[in-house]
Structure 1
Amino acid sequence: MAQLFGLVLVIVLVFGGLVLTGGRATMHALPFELALIGGAAIGTVLIGNSLSVAREALGGFAKAFRGAKWRREDYQDLLVLLGTLMRKARNGGFVAVESDIEAPQDSAVFAAAPRILGDAAACSLVCDSLRLMALDLSDPARAETRMDQAIGVYLDQRMKAVAALHTLADALPALGIVAAVLGIIRTMGSIDQSPVVLGTMIGSALLGTFLGVFLAYGLVGPVAARFGQVVEEEGRFLDVARNVLSAFAEGQQPGIALELGRATIPLALQPDPDLLERAISAARFVPASRNAA
């Protein structure tokens, strides 16, 4: 909401000033200049990045305004999910969670956390880590290394999209100059016109420079910065899962591992300890699979 308010404030102030000072001819040129610079900007993103990175970079505008996907209730669902899986593994061995981690889409444990089940990165991190522990619990560092690698790959891919937006912000002033030069070329072709006509054409040409600078520092640059924060916030969700599972692999009791993980969650998103304990207790009555109900 704060980002949306900031966007409205910037647009009202900047374009309000443009409307008051730019004149009618400049306003008529505005859609053309926006289309020119915007189209060239999208083209530069497509040229400099793979299709998947370009798609995520352009989608970063929406992500920057929506914010991180994980909320307080999602962190609670994560801890309840991990607590249930760790308890089952502690009581019945890793064979007790084999059906859950091999087919999470059929697991009632994962079904209780649908947003985690629907997130490929989070679901894979949990399942792959427990699977590796089941294969070799004698080396807990191996599971932690695997989780670090998985989180690193996830963040690297998403930070490429953030970098693409930063590159776009750096390129926009130059694209604005290109648009201005095109306007000047057009003006020079009408040099025999009256000063009134030439002044209007030059003003329209300079609009390209204005838009390039405005879009770079008033929109795309701040959006890229906010998008980077969102990526880091969503990566923190995976870090919490890693902290819990690493503590469990080192021999900590599930309750202690959960508390160690909960302590690493930002205070604004930390689940209430009492509510978390009640949710974990209620999860003990969840059947082993959907078909077991």
Structure 2
Amino acid sequence: MITIIGLIFTVLTVFGGYMLAGGNLDVILKALPFEMLIIGGSAFGAFIASNNMSVIKQTGGDLMSVIKGPKFDRSDYQDLLCLLHTLLSIGAKDPTELEKAIEDPQQSEVFAPYPKIVGDADATQIICDTMRSMIMNFDNAFQVEEMLEKQLYQMKSKSTRGAEALGRVADALPALGIVAAVLGVIKTMASIDKPPEVLGLMIGSALVGTFLGVYLAYGMVGPLAERVKQVRSEEQYFYGLIREVLVHWLHSHPPVMCVEVGRRNAPKDKRPSFQELDDAIRSTKKAA
């Protein structure tokens, strides 16, 4: 929501400053529909032409994330740590029971109290696939860490494709604004026999294209692309926490120590306190 407020503020300050300086808003408003058709239409067409359907759909979801923010909050980090503690405790006692617990997360009683984690395919895949590898005696901590690093890198690259696509649109908008302005100049030159006051309005309308291209690039689409990138990068901390916990478990640390390492690697604003996590783990044990 703060992003939307920022964008509205830029609109008010740009156009408000223009009007306070004595600018005539009628010139911009009359030219706006045609210039937006040229600039916005060509930008959208270029976006469609340069991306596959998967990226196009992802970008739509990314724009919604600007309003919603990162999908994981403080309680989700606490739930993840409680789930990992439960799984590691089961694995320390009986690997066979752990294998049953991770066989089908959708039906597992261990995962049942955490529907949001179960609903996230990436989180459950990292947890279950890595633990299956451990059960199969793939116990080299450094190899597992390298494997997880590659998996997380691929996930991060995929998650930022929408932001990169928006960034390319922002880079193209100033040039498309020039295209619209040049078309306006061509139109003006074709009417060179008109009175100066008419030519002045036509040149002013043509310059609206340059203004819109630059403004949309640096005042609208560019900030949106950057915010999407920030949101998706913040979400990667959630998956990185899983890596930290599981790698430390491979180093033969007790579950409570592994979970504490994960807690300290959580972002500060999403990190549960030691006491909050301890109480949550105790509650989970009592429920079990």
- Class of the TM-score when normalised by the shorter of the 2 chains: over 0.9
Is residue 26–residue 200 contact of structure 1 (8 Å, CA) maintained in 2?
A: no
* Partners of 1:28 and 1:99 in 2: CA distance: 67
Q: CA deviation at 1:3?
A: 1.9
The Cα of 1:23 is off from its aligned counterpart by 3.5
Kindly report structure 1 stretches of 4+ aligned residues shifted beyond 4 Å: none
Letter in 2 for 1:60: D
Secondary structure at the aligned position of 1:70 is classed as coil
Distance 1:58 1:190 in 2: 42
Percent of aligned pairs with the same residue? 42
Which residue of structure 2 lines up, in the alignment, with residue 291 of structure 1? Answer: none
**Matched residue, 1:182:** 183
Task: List aligned pairs for 1:16-165, cutoff 5 A.
Answer: 16-18=16-18, 21-93=23-95, 95-165=96-166
Deviation of the 1:11 alpha carbon: 1.0
Deviates more, 1:163-172 or 1:232-241: 163-172
CA distance in 1, matches of 2:57, 2:84: 32
Could you list the per-position Cα deviations for residues 171-208 of structure 1 after superposition, in whole angstroms to 9, with x for gaps in the alignment? 11001101111112222222222222221121111111
Deviation readout 1:52-90 (Å, 9 max, x if unpaired): 123323443332343211111010011011111111111
Residues 237, 267 of structure 2: 8 Å contact kept: no
Structure 2 distance, partners of 1:99, 1:9, is 54
Which amino acid in 2 is paired with 1:9? F
Query: Unpaired segments of 5 or more residues in structure 2?
Result: none
**Is 18-27 or 79-88 further displaced after alignment?**
18-27
**Which residue identity is paired with 2:223?**
P
Deviation at 1:152, TM superposition (A): 1.1
**1:18-62 superposed Cα distances (whole Å, 9 cap, x missing partner):** 556134242122122223212211222222222212332344333
2:180·2:206 contact (CA, 8 Å) conserved in 1?
Answer: yes
Q: TM-score, normalised by structure 1?
A: 0.91
Partner residue, 1:262: 263
Seen in structure 2, the aligned counterparts of structure 1 residues 125 and 243 have a Cα distance that, compared at 3 Å, is same
Task: Give the Cα–Cα distance (whole angstroms) in 1 for the partners of residues 110 and 205 of structure 2.
Answer: 62
Output the amino acid matched with 1:175.
L
- Report the more deviating stretch, 273-282 or 209-218: 273-282
Equivalent residue pairs, number: 286
**Cα distance in 2, alignment partners of residues 45 and 119 from structure 1:** 28
Alpha-carbon displacement from aligned partner over 1:117-162 (angstroms, at most 9, x marks no partner) = 1111111111111111111243233332222122111011123322
* Aligned match of 1:6: 6
1:248 aligns with 2:249: yes
Task: Label 1:270 to 1:190 Cα distance change in 2 as closer, same or farther (>3 A).
Answer: same
Cα distance in 2 for residues equivalent to 1:200 and 1:99: 75
Question: How far apart, in 2, do the equivalents of 1:196 and 1:59 lie?
Answer: 47
Q: Which digits, 9 at most, give the CA deviation of each residue in 1:200-222, with x for residues without a partner? A: 12111111100000011111112
Paired AA for residue 244 in structure 1:
V
- 1:133·1:140 contact (CA, 8 Å) conserved in 2? no
Matched with 2:217 is 216
RMSD across aligned C-alpha pairs, in angstroms?
Answer: 1.8
> Do 2:62 and 2:228's aligned partners in 1 also have CA atoms closer than 8 Å?
yes
Partners of 1:210 and 1:61 in 2: how far apart?
Answer: 24
Indicate if the aligned counterparts of 1:129 and 1:146 stay in contact, CA closer than 8 A. no
User: Distance in 2 between the 1:235 and 1:23 partners?
Assistant: 45
> Which 10-residue stretch deviates more, 205-214 or 22-31?
22-31
Are the counterparts in 2 of residues 108 and 286 from structure 1 also a CA contact under 8 Å? no
> Following the alignment from structure 2 to structure 1, what is the Cα–Cα distance between the partners of residues 244 and 171?
37
What is the alpha-carbon distance in structure 1 between the residues aligned to residue 192 and residue 206 of structure 2? 14
